Amino acid sequence: MNSPRRIAIDAMGGDRGVGVTVPAASRILARRSDLELVLVGDSDRIEPLLSRVPAGNRGKLRVLHTDTAVAEDDRPGSVLRSARESSMFLAADMVKSGDAQAMVSAGNSGALLMIGRHLLKTIPGIHKPAMVATIPGASKQSFLLDVGANPECDAQHLFEFAVMGSVLAESLNRAPARVGLLNIGAEHYKGTEAVREAAEKLERCPAIDYVGFIEANEIYHGQADVVVCDGFVGNVTIKASEGVANVIRNVLYHKAGPAYFNRISRFFSASIINSLTMQVNPERFNGACLLGLQGNVVKSHGNASVLGFCHAILEAANEIDNQVPRLIANKVESIMATA
């Protein structure tokens, strides 16, 4: 795409709001001249922070004012009535109108899902959107979905997640994408009824390269490019993984002390150590795509740092480049035509 990619940012969302979103926007514009960013939020709080934006990048950044924000404790069911002037709603509305090609928010996940479904609608043939997270691996990355949008899923929902996840992976030149179902064992009789029925559906679908059940300890081994589960299991899995990664980084950086690094450096170069700590840094993988909507929506962690939010913005740019909603619609239509 040669035209500028415009991303709407819910500047008020997340634990630290404009303290993270505005510096992240400034940092991204210094790296990506092809992007335009719209900060949706309270201009009285945003404008003072824009003095740090280099003059050459200021023209690629504009502010859409609203002093209303969705709170983390707002009930998702109420936001469509009470939050139509909120930064989250207005950012999503920009995607609906075509004024932006993607949006990013670190705000209330349930509210974002509700607003996204209301304004952007789901792709025909998709019953529920799913949040997908990037999973680091020893040799390459993979994708896990759903990671929180749908705590309860039936077999059809899991099948649709597999279709959407395979499209995302293949859009990044992994064709055909290998798809696995997260389960408590590899045997065909294990798992919930929904998981077993989803496996049968995937086995009968020639458009999906289904590789069988994947156990939790195999997620990072690269046996599948896409790992599918319901949102409850996925959310627990991703948060447990992030917790372990943070413990490792904390031990390496804080607990062991300089003497530990001196001993390590006798055997490993500093570049290897830095590479290891970066590989397990959850901030690098911040930005969960909300797949299944007729528009690009990316959810950042609420407690993301500036670096983490930068990665969420870059994920939105990738979604624009790869035109994932259109590719999902095409694949769903193709599967339905041959069913």
The answer to whether position 94 is within a domain reads yes
The pLDDT tens digits along the chain (339 residues) read 456 789 999 999 999 999 999 999 999 998 898 999 999 999 999 999 998 787 778 889 999 999 999 999 888 888 888 889 999 999 999 999 999 999 999 999 999 999 999 999 999 999 999 999 988 876 678 899 999 999 999 999 999 999 999 999 998 876 789 999 999 998 888 989 999 999 999 999 999 999 999 999 888 888 899 999 999 999 999 888 877 777 766 776 666 555 655 565 555 555 544 555 555 555 677 889 999 999 999 999 999 999 999 999 999 999 999 999 999 999 999 887 775
Pairing of strands 102-105, 288-291: unpaired
Q: Are residues 151 and 266 in the same domain?
A: yes
Tokens 């992030």 — which residue?
Answer: 242
Strands across the sheet with 296-299, in order? Answer: 61-65, 35-41, 5-10, 102-105, 296-299, 288-291, 130-135, 142-145, 226-228, 178-182, 209-214
Instruction: Give the count of alpha carbons within 13 A of 59, CB side only.
Output: 4
CA distance 83 to 124: 27
Q: Which residue has the tokens 């319901």?
A: 230
Owning domain of residue 235? 127-284
The structure's pTM equals 0.87
Residue 339 covered by a domain: no
CATH number at residue 26: 3.40.718.10
Size (the chain), residues: 339
The conformation of residue 293, written as its DSSP 8-state character, comes to: B
Instruction: Examine residue 8 and state whether it is found in any structural domain, yes or no.
Output: yes
The residues, any chain, with a CB within 8 Å of residue 74's CB and separated by 6 or more, are: 82, 83, 108, 111
Please report whether residue 329 resides in a domain.
Answer: no
Q: Do the beta carbons of residue 81 and residue 280 sit within 8 Å?
A: no
Would you say residue 108 lies in a domain? yes
- Residue 96 and residue 198 share a domain: no
Structural domain contains residue 205: yes
Q: How many domains does the chain have?
A: 2
